[in-house]
Amino acid sequence: MLHHQFEKELAHLELIFPLLAEDGAFALSYWRSRTTALLADQSVIPSGARRIVWLLDLLDKIEQEALAAPPRRAKLIHAQKQVPVR
């Protein structure tokens, strides 16, 4: 992978990952797969390995928070109960 391709992919993932905690459109396994695919080329840029580890750590944190959170459906049901009926 060329230097600029690697940098572009890393920058994209670094932008997207913080948004995953809110509500990701793709499964976390998809993002983990994209990140681990970069491991083969981590030496292309000096900060490559450090940034990949940071992204994988962030994914782990997001997964742990998702496991601890109540299911999304339960949140919606709770929110509907809070809306006053007129």
| List of residues 6+ apart from 3 with CB closer than 8 A | 44, 45
pTM: 0.64
Q: What is the pLDDT of residues 46-59, one digit of tens each?
A: 888 899 999 999 99
Percent of the chain at pLDDT > 90 equals 21
For 7-23, what is each residue's pLDDT tens digit? 998 899 888 887 776 66
Q: How far apart (Å, rounded) are the C-alpha atoms in residues 20 and 70?
A: 16
DSSP one-letter string for 21-60: HHH-SS-HHHHHHHHHHGGGGGGGSTTHHHHHHHHHHHHH
Q: Are 13 and 48 in contact (CB under 8 A)?
A: no
